[in-house]
Amino acid sequence: MTDDFWNARLHVLLDGALQVWRIDAELTRDGDACVLRPTGASAPVFVRRVTHDGDAAYWTVSSESDSALAALLAQPYAGVQGMLRAVRDALDPTANTQRLVVGG
Amino acid sequence: MTPVTVLTGFLGSGKTTLLSKLIRHPDMARTAVVINEFGDVGLDHILLESSDENIVELNSGCLCCTIRGDLVVTLEDLLARRQRGDIMNFDRIIIETTGLADPVPILHALMTDKALAGAIRLEGVVTTVDAVNGAATLDRHDESVRQAAVADRVVLTKTDLADPEASNLPERLHALNPAAPVLPVTQGEIDPAQLFDAGLYDPSAKSDAVQDWLKVDFTHDHHHHDPNRHDDSIRAHAFTWTQPVHAVALTLFLEILAEHCGPDLLRLKGIVNLVESPDSPAIIHGVQNVIHPLLWLDAWPDDTHDSKFVFITKDLPGSWFETLLEAVNAEVAETIARRDNTSNLA
């Protein structure tokens, strides 16, 4: 998938996630990042999909506006699942979480 | 495994009348009934006009709130007494909830309790809605909306007393839960075959049964906006997915739904075309963060091998599910392609 695919999808994905989490935040784009600015909070959250030729892509979730610095400092997340969890934890650290249960 | 059906419906909607008629039907002779009532003195067992030993009351509270543990113990006890031959053998259990019960936690308990696993299977939810007060009850009581939203069959009662069309009730129920047939009855008279074997999809059923199970118009969200109504927050969402889904992607998708949507995902149903099993579609079924183990069909029910998903949710954006599946599946496909390229280079 191209970066264009992911840039477009990431915005839609995060926009929906904010509704799912019931978090009031402004969602904008800044270069290669999606930026979430929760109402009443000072620190924005930058979400990026980082790709390097020949390597697997990964996600970063950080408060860094600089892409290279974020890639250096932020913990990488291999998949959408980890990225979404990290974004929600950043926006709402007290959120209750559940795990999938395979029932009878 | 003994099938368990949850019979729910708001106060005065005709649950006990329906149950009373059902248990007298010859086809229902081997049925155990668990009745949940508020208060220390229950009346429903008297209204059932039966002294059947297979009827058990739970009066210490509401199943959905405080006594889910009691329900599990009661079911275990019923199964043990049957095993010992202390009571008449039965091959079906009906649980009648209180009129104020939210059925979702009850379904959750039935699907997750380790002691009951392997002994029972959740068969489905039957919800009574009465033609006289049903529309007003949906307006005023969130519980009644949830009862209708998670039903596999909606029984429209008291149709001899009021025309449900006058209050737009059938259309409203269909908007809330398009997959559930709405069955009009008077005085609780209905063929049991119309109510049972309805919920957890049975892969041994006729192939076209899966179409009924997922009977939804997949072209739009089933939602009519009216901010004054309780059912405004509960919606049915459905989408069709034409690409095969990687099994890993489906697992990740379900994990993300459980983690982020848990309590607001009232029910999930689907038939899925997996990359790893193109000829045998998988059936998924879930309540909140609990997913039933995948079931497999021997073949597709028709020529279109598209995956179909149905969600009943509270205040969740329907388009997000499709976006999420697209992202997760694309990511898994990308990873697999990268792995394959690496293997080829090596």
Indicate whether B134 and B224 sit together in one domain: no
Interchain CB distance below 8 Å, B328 and A104: no
Average pLDDT over residues B292-302: 87
Indicate whether B241 and B336 sit together in one domain: yes
Which CATH number fits the domain that encloses residue B160?
Answer: 3.40.50.300
Indicate whether B235 and B165 sit together in one domain: no
Q: Which of A16, A85, A99 sits opposite B323 (nearest CB)?
A: A16
Indicate whether B259 and B332 sit together in one domain: yes
Taking an 8 Å Cβ-Cβ cutoff, which residues of chain A contact chain B? Answer: 1, 5, 9-10, 12-13, 16-17, 19-22, 56-57, 79-81, 84-85, 88, 97-104
pLDDT at B41: 42
Instruction: Answer yes or no: is B54 within a domain.
Output: yes
Indicate whether B172 and B301 sit together in one domain: no
Q: Which of A1, A99, A103 sits opposite B292 (nearest CB)?
A: A103
* Beta bridge pairs of residue B291: A102, B286
Indicate whether B222 and B178 sit together in one domain: no
User: In the predicted model, is pLDDT for residue B290 greater than 90?
Assistant: no
Which CATH number fits the domain that encloses residue B337?
Answer: 3.30.1220.10
Number of domains chain B contains? 2
How far A65 CA lies from chain B's nearest CA (Å)? 24
Find the domain containing B301 and state its range: 209-345
B5-17 pLDDT per residue, tens: 999 999 889 998 8
Indicate whether B132 and B237 sit together in one domain: no
Average pLDDT over residues B110-114: 82
Higher pLDDT among residues B165 and A54, named by residue: B165
Q: Which of B252, B260, B333 sits opposite A79 (nearest CB)?
A: B252
Contacts of A16 in chain B (CB under 8 A): 317, 319-320, 323-324
User: In the predicted model, is pLDDT for residue B257 greater than 90?
Assistant: yes
Q: Which of B121, B287, B289 sits opposite A98 (nearest CB)?
A: B289
Indicate whether B156 and B14 sit together in one domain: yes
Instruction: Answer yes or no: is B204 within a domain.
Output: no
User: In the predicted model, is pLDDT for residue A52 greater than 80?
Assistant: no
| Cβ under 8 Å to A: B residues 220-259 | 252, 254-259
Average pLDDT over residues B309-315: 88
In the structure, what pLDDT confidence band is assigned to residue B50 with cuts at 50, 70 and 90?
Answer: very low
pTM: 0.78
Average pLDDT over residues B71-79: 87
Give how far Cα B136 sits from Cα of B59, B118, B248, B273, Å: 28, 40, 45, 41
Instruction: Answer yes or no: is B201 within a domain.
Output: no
In the structure, what pLDDT confidence band is assigned to residue B222 with cuts at 50, 70 and 90?
Answer: very low
B122-142 pLDDT per residue, tens: 888 999 999 988 999 998 888
Average pLDDT over residues B158-165: 89
Name residue A17's amino acid: A
Least confident residue range of B90-94, B155-159, B230-234, B312-316? B230-234
B165-218 pLDDT per residue, tens: 988 999 999 888 888 899 999 888 999 999 986 655 554 555 555 666 556 555
In the structure, what pLDDT confidence band is assigned to residue B248 with cuts at 50, 70 and 90?
Answer: very high
Contacts of B252 in chain A (CB under 8 A): 79-81
Indicate whether B23 and B161 sit together in one domain: yes
Instruction: Answer yes or no: is B200 within a domain.
Output: no
In the structure, what pLDDT confidence band is assigned to residue A102 with cuts at 50, 70 and 90?
Answer: confident
Indicate whether B182 and B78 sit together in one domain: yes
Least confident residue range of B25-29, B111-115, B307-311? B111-115
How far A87 CA lies from chain B's nearest CA (Å)? 12
Which ipTM value was assigned to this complex? Answer: 0.94
Average pLDDT, chain B: 82
Instruction: Answer yes or no: is B163 within a domain.
Output: yes
- Which range, A48-57, B62-71, B173-182, is most confident? B173-182
Instruction: Answer yes or no: is B203 within a domain.
Output: no
Instruction: Answer yes or no: is B199 within a domain.
Output: no
Indicate whether B169 and B91 sit together in one domain: yes
Longest dimension (CA), chain A: 48
User: In the predicted model, is pLDDT for residue B46 greater than 50?
Assistant: no
Contacts of B322 in chain A (CB under 8 A): none
Indicate whether B163 and B282 sit together in one domain: no
Nearest residue on chain B to A5, judged by CA atoms? Answer: B327
Average pLDDT over residues A9-38: 94
Interchain CB distance below 8 Å, A104 and B120: yes
Higher pLDDT among residues A72 and B220, named by residue: A72
User: In the predicted model, is pLDDT for residue B253 greater than 60?
Assistant: yes
Domain boundary among B137, B171, B194: B194
User: In the predicted model, is pLDDT for residue A26 greater than 90?
Assistant: yes
pLDDT at B217: 54
Interchain CB distance below 8 Å, A100 and B326: no
Instruction: Answer yes or no: is B202 within a domain.
Output: no
Cα–Cα distance, B208 to B55 (Å, whole number): 35
